[in-house]
Each structure stands twice: as structure tokens, then as C-alpha cells.
Amino acid sequence: MTHPHANILGTVGNTPVVRVTHNVPEDVELYVKLEAFNPMGSVKDRLALGIIEAAERDGTLKPGQTVIEATSGNTGIGLAMVCAAKGYPLVVTMAESFSVERRKLMRFLGARVILTPASEKGTGMIAKARELAEKHGWFLARQFENEAGPDIHSSTTAEEILADFGENGLDYWVSGFGTAGTMKGVARVLKARSPRTRIIAAEPDNSALLSSGVVQPFNDDGSAAASHPAFRPHLMQGWTPDFIPKLAHDVIKAGHIDEICPVPGAAALRCARDLARAEGILCGISSGATFAAALDVARRAPKGSRILAMLPDTGERYLSTPLFAEIEEAMNAEEQQIAASTPRFRFDAAPAAAAPAAPVAASAEALAEVQALISDPEEPVVLFALEWCEFCWSVRKLFAAAGIAYRSVDLDGAAYRDGDRGGAIRKALAQVTGVPTIPQIFVGGTHVGGATETFDAVNDGRLQKMLAELGHAADTTGIGNAYSFLPAWLHPRKPAPDQAA
């Protein structure tokens, strides 16, 4: 039964479990729980909601108070959603090494993101969050120690698993750990209500903190007192910080981990890709890693075993990372061959020239309007544009970067729609300039040209000179090649004069 939700927060949790068969031994059942179905695409939506609502209940978070947390990204994105929906300002500290997608998503959701040096690792971003919370009186979410994390997993994730598999219906449950909120919260419920389920903890094979047996020192408040000596940089963003979190320590102490499974980075990448290509399941690197561990279990498990792997997030969060390193933007040889197998719409064959359009006479009224626009001494720079055309936007970005004030005449804008005034001006413009294309740029009544001519004029300093003669400044120092303001797919073949080899 579906029902309308009061707000987005009602859609957190209840993620689907899906069977996977490719590469899986036939006599076992392997399932994945897709946490990417949470509204912000990761398992951490659960924790974000759990921490904020627990703090609201016990009064540690006051209405309108700023929330702060250190995060590898997914917690920050989840918190950004919860804070947006509930009206709390959010500040996130994050090591610069986590994917750019994460930063941008948080900022898009209204959060502020304070980057910390990668060399300071996870402990650095956590210490920064603590420092900022103390200085400004902000609510620190403390995901690595906060019991609200495991609690929400006990009350949601674990219950969902029991509902899907029944009590004692699951033989293995496989998960990695970041905070270990998932692991602590789920493992204790399964141990109590599905005691036959074996708990498998996966971790990076080159940063195997749990397997090392080396004890993690803690401060009195449960935070880690030092980096763990076995930590090495690894691929699985969101897994294994440079310390064993208190929550992970708790699971080990409780004896809830039956086996630790080390996973090589290459296996994580391969499994994420295989899940995408063979199953249509798009997931991130830690998901690929968890699946690699689950496959390892599947190969050793007795016939008839049922295995569930947690897949924490979506693959879209990794476009800038090694997961997508081999995925090209341009067409590869095979794709080019397909493109060349039919005659039209190709890059390697020029389209047949269209017959030139018969010139259409512009109205006297539109011609007068163009004249008036380009000869206004108050606004000597005039850009005749279409609102959302990429060339027009490139010129706008260039003018903004150089501090050039201009008047934009958006011919397809609502202001020019009545009686097709925009179309009439466009005809007049074509007659005045001799070119039918948009944008067209004028400075002090002089026609500079379209986007390309304008970039050339900036690159060789002519535009700056024209402006100076009119008593207007333009600061083009440091903006580089004007063509760089074009999106990559619009870059013309002609290099700018200063870049010509």
C-alpha cells in the first residue's frame, strides 16, 4: 500500500531486497539490499534522520540551531536533506579527498561544506567539526559514537530484513563499516531474533583495521584518541576511517562478528561494474566491495544458503572517481563504427549544405528598435541573445568574469513574445549584421560579431580597447583564453591566437 507522505522524510528506509544470480553459485541464494533507494541515495539517510529526531526528542538540538558533522559525504547529504526539510542550518566538514559530487550535492541542498586537508585524514575532519561546534555552540551529530545511529538501524533496517527473510530465514548477512552504525544496529537484532544468521564484516584488504587485532585507543567520550597504525588510504569511500569507531568496537566486544572478510580494491571496482552490466544494479564502490565479500561467502557456503549483502549507495556519486576512470566521454572505436554505418548526423562527414534562406525584409519599426538599443550611451555593451543558448551563456560568463556590464536582449524571453517582437528584432538584426546567428554583440554601436568574434576580440585585446575608449573598464587579467568559457562540446577547432602553437 502506498500513501502520500507528509514530507520527504517519510520516504527514508523500506529499501528493496533484490536477488542477484550472475556469477553466483547455483545452489545458494544471494540477495542485495539496495540502500540507494533512500531519498538521497544512501544508507546514511537513515542515520541522519535518526540522529536529528533523537536529538529533538531529548532536547539536545534546539529549534533553528545549526547542526555540524564530519562526514565522508553520504551522512552530510542525508543531514542536508533532513536539515532542509526541518529548517536547521547545516555545516559539514569533509576531507578534500572525497568525491566532488558529494560536496556539490550538499551545497545544492543548502549546506556549507568546510574542506579539511586530505593529509589529516578522517581524524582531522572530525577534530575540525568538534572545534567549530565548541566555538559556535552548534549541535555536533557525532555519527561515530552516537547511539542514535545503531538505534535507527535496529528499528528500521533490521526489522525490514526480518520482515523479508523471516526469523532464522537468513544464513549470512554481509556489511562493511564506516561508523559501524549499520553493523551494530542490525547485528544485535539478528543475533537475538535470527541467531543462525552469521554476521560477516568486510573491510579493505590494504587497510584491515579489524583483522589487525591492534587495539584502538579511545578518549573518555568514545572518540578515537589516535589514528590506527594499520590504516592505509583505500578505495572504499565511506568504509574504514583511519580509526576503529567506538560503535565497531562495541560490535566486536559483544562477539557479534562471526567472520572478517578482507576485500581488494580491484575486486570492489569489478563487482560494482558487474552488478551494473549483468544485473542493472547501479551502486557505489563500498557496495561493490560488500558484494565481493558476499560472493566470497557464496562460494564457500553450504548448499541452499541464503546470503544478504548491504549495498550502501548509488553509483552516480562516483563519476569523478576510479569507479568511472575507464568510462570515456568520447565515442570509442566501436561506437564510431556504429555511427559511420549510416550516412547522416556524423562528425566525420559534413552535412549537405542547406539552400540559403531567402532574405526576409525587416520592418522599419524593428530596425529602429535595434538602432535605439545599440546606440544607448548608458549601456554601450549590448548582447542580443537567446535566454538559454550555450553560446550566449558563455558570453555572459566571460562578461561576468571580466566585470563587463552589458544589456542582454533576450529575443526568446517573455518580454519579447507579444506579437513576436523578438522574431521581428531578430530579422532586423540579421539585416544590420549580415549574419542570421545569435548571439550578436555590439559595443558603443559597433558590431563586434557573434560569440567566436567576441572571444577573439577579448583574446587579442580589441574589446578591452573599445571599452576603454568609451570610458568603461574591463578586467581580463587572469581569465585566460576566452574560449574556455564555452562548454567542452562547443569548443571550436580554431585555437585562440595566444594558444596557437
Closest distance between ligand PMP and the C-beta of residue 295, in Å? 17
By CB under 6 A, residue 312 contacts ligand PMP: yes
Cell 562540446 belongs to which residue? Answer: 489
Q: Please pick, from the candidates 123, 179, 321, 454, the single residue that binds ligand PMP as defined by CB under 6 A.
A: 179
x-or-dash pattern for ligand PMP, window 245-274, by CB under 6 A?
Answer: ------------------------------
Q: Which residues contact 244 (CB under 8 A, 6 or more apart)?
A: 209, 210, 216, 224, 228
Cβ-based nearer residue to ligand PMP, 197 or 459: 197
Radius of gyration from C-alpha coordinates of the chain:
29
Q: Please pick, from the candidates 41, 50, 204, 238, the single residue that binds ligand PMP as defined by CB under 6 A.
A: 238
Footprint of ligand PMP on residues 328-367 (CB under 6 A)?
A: none
Separation CA 239–CA 290 (nearest Å): 10
Choose among 104, 115, 106: nearest CA to 78.
106
Q: Which residues contact 454 (CB under 8 A, 6 or more apart)?
A: 395, 398, 439, 441, 448, 463, 482
- Only one of the segments 171-179, 401-409, 425-433, 472-480 lies at the binding site for ligand PMP (rule: CB under 6 A); that segment is 171-179
Q: Please pick, from the candidates 32, 48, 77, 180, the single residue that binds ligand PMP as defined by CB under 6 A.
A: 180
Q: Please pick, from the candidates 13, 39, 204, 284, the single residue that binds ligand PMP as defined by CB under 6 A.
A: 284
Closest distance between ligand PMP and the C-beta of residue 180, in Å? 5
Q: Which residues contact 335 (CB under 8 A, 6 or more apart)?
A: none
Q: Which residues contact 58 (CB under 8 A, 6 or more apart)?
A: none
Q: Is 44 a catalytic residue?
A: yes
Cβ-based nearer residue to ligand PMP, 38 or 433: 38
Query: Which residue type is seen at 303?
Result: K
Q: Is 320 a catalytic residue?
A: no
x-or-dash pattern for ligand PMP, window 35-74, by CB under 6 A?
Answer: -------xxx---------------------------x-x
Catalytic residue among 286, 287, 394, 408: 286
Choose among 272, 317, 307: nearest CA to 18.
307
By CB under 6 A, residue 240 contacts ligand PMP: no
Separation CA 444–CA 450 (nearest Å): 16
* C-alpha to C-alpha distances, 123 to 97, 335, 344, nearest whole angstrom: 13, 46, 57
Closest distance between ligand PMP and the C-beta of residue 18, in Å? 18
Neighbours of 177 (CB within 10 A): 25
By CB under 6 A, residue 207 contacts ligand PMP: no
**Active-site annotation, residues:** 44, 286
Which spans of this chain sit near ligand PMP (rule: CB under 6 A)? 42-44, 72, 74, 176-183, 237-239, 284, 286, 312-313
